[in-house]
Chains A and B, each alone.
Chain A
Amino acid sequence: MKNKISKQKGILGRGILTFLLIMGVSGCAPQKVIDEIGIMHTIGVDLVNNKIMGSVLYPDFTDDKNLMLVTAEADNLTTLKTNLDLKLQYPMELGQLRVLVLGDTLSKAGFSRVLESLNKDPSVGMINVVVADHSSRQFLQSIIKSPPLFLSDLIEQATEYEGLPDTSILTMQYQYFGEGIDVYLPNVKLDNQNKVELNGMSIFKKDKLKLRLSQKETFLFKTINEKNKKGTYPFKIRKNEKEANIGIQSLSGKHNIDINLAENEVLIKLNLNCELKGLPNWMDIRKVEELQQIAEKSMTNDIENMLVKLQKNQVDPLGLGMIYRSKSKIWSEDDFYKRVYPAFRFKVRTKIVFSQYGVVK
């Protein structure tokens, strides 16, 4: 009996010891109480005199949820954080960062300086990266009156429904560090009323901006690159000396890319389910096959032109290099861009099915 009691005391003692040890260890756990840190949602990075200039938009929840803009300069991202903190009430934390805006100076000089230090921070999650067509500071200044998550929600919405490519810092890392594929990111610009507008995408060679695609080309790129094929496609139709521009809304579809090594031919098959919305008066809705053919022809043409444009600029956002690499025994990235890629011929087969006609008179 006595033995038993002492044994139980031993267990109790061990329990207390464990608890004390936990208390000891806990001295080291860094506390980040949510209302005592600066939450940044959007950060813009520019390059000024070979120094990184970071502009941070952060919401001030205590005071009318206003967004505040703070800017600091530094040689690298780590010192940038310190220089920002020196201007702020609470230390800035990266954990709730949603959008990274690359200024034109930085995207032309190469984003690798920024990407490589963001890579090493475990608190960085899914960030949307966009490319501004001028200084990112100017761009952030123009959205300072919007709600805190405006830019993030805008990108999310446009990616889901309006044909913007689905990118994030993760796809960016994959494309940047992977061979046989190039980085592409959505563009943002300010329209003539100084409002934000998403417009097409930028394609990078390594980490430097090489080519910008228009919104129409971006949608076509998305249809042959992603599962989500939602978006609108406008095309011209001409009949009996009458002309009209028709927009069709793509709902869903499938694509397939195949490379025929023997003939250096890239075969792209694309099936789209579309919704037809609105026809000019002189078009007969019963002759929909005719309209389908025109749409297919126009789309095939546009996709081929877009691919040739990419080929001429020596960029490969579609990842044709990766497909080639999976088929060919020899692989060298330089060789692919110098010799193989320029020789590719593109053959696109588009099939459009109008599954919905909208409201018919």
Chain B
Amino acid sequence: MNKNDLTLEELLIAAKKSKDFTRIERSINGTKIYLSYFNTLVDHEIIQKSLLPYLNSPFLKNIDDISDKLPIEDITFTEDVNEIYLKLYKGHVILQNEHSPNECILLNIHNATLGLRQNNDAENEFSVIGPKVGFVEDLDTNLNLLRRKVNSQKLIIEEMIIGNMSKTRVAIVYLDGITNEQHINTVRERLKNLNFDIIWDTSVLEQIIRDHKHTPFPLLLSTERIDRIVYTLVNGQVTIFSDGSPNAISGPATLLDFFISPEDYYLNWVLGSFFRVIRILGILFSVFSSSIYVAVLTFHYEVIPKDLLGPLIESRANVPFPPVLEVLFLETTIELLREAGARLPTKVGQTLGIVGGIVIGQAAVAAALTSNVLLIIVSLSALASFTTPIIVMGNTIRILRFFFIVFSAFLGGFGIIIGIMFLLGHLFRLKSLGSPYIVPLYPFRRNSLADSFIRSPLSTLNKRAPYLRPKQLMKFYVKEMRIHKGDLNDEE
């Protein structure tokens, strides 16, 4: 918005420097009109079928008839240069009249889906049960998908334009009368105060508006799944969409939110709880297993069960390095494999997985660079780190592992405890949109535990999480549904 001093003339001259800027001259009843647009942004089909023929037709007597007669939905009259500037670069056609060149008519002929992918499978956050549709790079499609699921006048979508270069449309979505205004205001203020050139993705937004800069933990939930976003909205969180990004971000988020998969709610509560517990145990294993290996093998040989002692010593006997170097070597190898796998095309990636996983692993043991036991521990913990439903959190888990390995290498079990204290201290400090990050655990909220480590039956999950301070606590009211044995026998 800092181009306030620009006139329309200057704007058009500046635009003319680009090759894709087009200016056409036509006449309506003898009056000359000018069409100016970027041909890379507009939909040529509409221009040829719906715009140019009508301009030449006899229906159009007057320039003022345009809004009535043209079969184009979004038509605005304006003299505001700023608005013209903004909309020209969003694919609008400027229609000028030779008598009053400053009064412009803006026609929205933006080709919104040009070059965007059509496939919107939720590939990164796949679930076997439940919908598989995810968000795409187009904001309108995303909001359309959201509106389809939430059919309520409470769903409010606010839009603003952010990025002095990209002019990206960013949408704040919340449920009116449910979401606490404090959260909405926080998001609104932070987005307003934001100053950035190009909003590449919502993940960039997340980094800019998050509460703490120096933390490996993601503070806002980022997801491509529709059901997940709807769930956060219904619970009273605020969601941010940005045009050009297939991920939406939601907040205030808590640590446990990142370990919850939508699939937990599609399975019955016994299975859902079981898988959730497995996932959390897996994450603990992933964070601590290699550091405990280092601590035990370097400092605390006393705690090894007697039957495990033989296999452990045997597998380590030929390894020339201390346990810590052994672990760091293998962990780095796994990280390299992961990183290479992520960068390579899918087909090559599969081959690499086999080569890396099996061949390198076996060869490393055969070459006495690592022990067999460690190979199992490290690959299991890598596997466990992939169980996090949100990928960003999986990355955090892997970083934490190195942190603990270093601590355990210096001080053994005592070092791990010190590391845990540092970690807890850090987690206690974290906030997401001003709310505590590890909330059902600290500050302790007993009532919110029903949907934390376990997933209680759906009928008991009829309250929103109180720590989000929703303006309406109940989601729905449970009707007593009981089948009496007598009722079934009545017909006899």
Contact = CB atoms under 8 A, between A and B. Distances in A.
Contact of A32 (B298, B307, B319): B298
A319 interface: no
A225 interface: no
B314 interface: yes
B380 interface: no
Interface string B31-63: 000000000000000000000000000000000
A123 B302 contact: yes
Given A34-B312, A61-B314, A22 B306 contact: no
21 contacts: A8-B214, A22-B407, A22-B410, A23-B410, A26-B411, A26-B415, A30-B299, A31-B322, A32-B301, A33-B322, A34-B296, A34-B312, A34-B316, A35-B317, A61-B310, A95-B301, A96-B301, A96-B302, A96-B306, A123-B302, A149-B306
Contacts, number: 71
B389 interface: no
B204 interface: no
B298 A35 contact: no
Contacts of A35: 313, 316-317, 319
Given A32-B298, A34-B312, A62 B306 contact: no
Contact of B298 (A33, A41, A98, A123): A33
Interface string A7-39: 010001000000000110110011111110101
Interface string A28-63: 011111110101010000000000000000010110
B418 interface: yes
B297 interface: yes
A95 B302 contact: yes
B323 interface: yes
B262 interface: no
A93 interface: yes
Contact of A61 (B297, B317, B319, B418): B317
Interface of B: 214, 296-299, 301-302, 304, 306-307, 309-310, 312-314, 316-319, 322-323, 407, 410-412, 414-415, 418
B309 A29 contact: no
Q: Which 10 A-B pairs have the closest CB atoms?
A: A95-B302, A26-B410, A61-B313, A62-B317, A34-B297, A35-B316, A34-B301, A61-B314, A35-B317, A123-B302
A148 interface: yes
B212 to A, nearest CB: 10
B317 A39 contact: no
Given A22-B411, A96-B301, 19 more contacts: A8-B214, A12-B214, A22-B415, A22-B418, A29-B299, A29-B414, A31-B298, A33-B297, A33-B298, A33-B322, A34-B298, A34-B304, A34-B312, A39-B301, A61-B310, A65-B310, A96-B306, A98-B306, A125-B302
A152 interface: yes
Interface string A119-152: 0000101000000000000000000000011001
Contacts of B301: 32, 34, 37, 39, 93, 95-96
Nearest to B303: A95
Contacts of B415: 22, 26
A34 B214 CA distance: 38
A152 B312 CA distance: 19
B372 to A, nearest CB: 13
A285 B312 CA distance: 54
Contacts of A62: 314, 317-318
A249 B418 CA distance: 53
Contacts of A37: 301
A29 B313 contact: no
From A39, A61, A148, A149, residue with most partner B Cβ within 10 Å: A61
